[in-house]
Amino acid sequence: MLAKRIIPCLDIKDGRTVKGINFVGLRDAGDPVELGKLYSEAGADELVFLDITATHEKRKTLASLARSIAQHLTIPFTIGGGISSVQDVEVCLQAGADKVSINSAAVRNPDLINELALEFGSQCIVVAIDAKFIDPQWIVHVSGGRKATHLELFSWAKEVEEQGAGEILFTSMDHDGTKAGFANEALAKLSETLSIPIIASGGAGSKEHFVEVFQTGKADAALAASIFHFKEIEIQELKLFLKENGIVVR
């Protein structure tokens, strides 16, 4: 069995790490450079840096900030936010990223996924999918969760895989920031539908939630923000708990 990954996420707005609930009500969570260094030293498996208002504000990812964060890391690093071209990806990789995350741009132009995968390799391309359950289905949203699309989660995820994405980062907007647990039913269905790794995001609130997301949700990695930023759970403590529950971690 492949080891499960624990991934802290730095949501960046105006050069600061922020965290909200259901994508709104953002509060300051600290300096991203300091946090990135802290997580690298604390045993995180990877780090995700999302410039959460880049697409909405129609500007590019903060490459200079990404470069500052990357200098302090010894773990793989994914950058997302406002990435929409081969040139954008080149800038991010030169800034120190190992992978890039695309979301809104992939919805606008699905062929971009294939173009980037051919240019840089699938292992480098993460497609982030933000979705909200609007009965009877999960509806994909873009622009930092501000705009609903016509896309349904599972069919879009399958298309993303076929276009050459190496990984999917699925965030349940309903669970985001609630600390009530991950969207395990949807995650398990994604796992059955796809053959590429799935990173679960939205809802982490306890160590038990991580056990559930790996056992019930079948996720390959779990991403969380506020519980790490505000030191509610320490990463090494979490990994020990997962091992005690029979889950292989790095």
Active site residues: 11, 130
Ramachandran assignment for 205, one of left (phi > 0), alpha (psi -120 to 50 degrees), beta (any other): alpha
Q: What is the largest CA-CA distance in the chain?
A: 46
What length is written for the chain?
250
Q: Which two structure tokens, joined as six digits, stand for 39?
A: 């997580």
Whether the Cβ atoms of residue 249 and residue 3 lie closer than 8 Å to each other? yes
Q: Identity (one letter) of the amino acid at 19? A: K
**Interatomic CA distance for residues 36 and 205, integer angstroms:** 20
For the record, the structure tokens of 102 come out as: 């695309």
- Of 40, 62, 44, which is closest to residue 53 (Cα–Cα)? 62
What b/e sequence results for 214-240 when a residue is b if at least 16 CB atoms lie within 10 Å of its CB, and e otherwise?
beebbbbbbbbbbbbbeeebebeebbe
Decide if 221 contacts 171 (C-beta within 8 A). Answer: no
The two beta strands, 125-134 and 167-172, are: parallel
Cα–Cα distance for residue pair 84/202, rounded to 1 Å = 24
